[in-house]
Amino acid sequence: MNALAIFLGVIGAPQVILIIAIVLLLFGGKKIPELMKGLGGGVKEFKNAMKDDQPANSKKEEETKEKE
């Protein structure tokens, strides 16, 4: 773990600015909002899928409550 930390160093403001500049150069200013919109949509779908995926026991409990 220490070797990895030494190799990568500490990520600070200059490194973040460099990464943002590289992304801007690669994708351009117009493409980035589209990429972020797609990423946000993916995260939203993932959250909805996690919310819908309930354990089997809780589904059975809900069904018994509905019958009563």
pLDDT, residue 42, reads: 92
Question: Residue 53: pLDDT above 80?
Answer: no
The 8-class DSSP code of residue 64 comes to: H
Structure token digits, residue 55: 């354990």
pTM above 0.85, yes or no: no
Spatial distance between the Cα atoms of 12 and 19, rounded to a whole number of angstroms = 11
Do residues 32 and 24 make contact, with C-beta atoms less than 8 angstroms apart?
Answer: yes
Which residue in this structure is represented by tokens 């809780």? 58
Domain total of the chain: 1
Confidence of residue 6 (pLDDT cuts 50, 70, 90): confident
**Helices of type H across 1-68:** 2-8, 13-27, 31-52, 56-67
Residues spanned by the domain of 10: 2-67
Do residues 53 and 46 make contact, with C-beta atoms less than 8 angstroms apart?
Answer: no
pLDDT, residue 30, reads: 85
pLDDT, residue 45, reads: 93
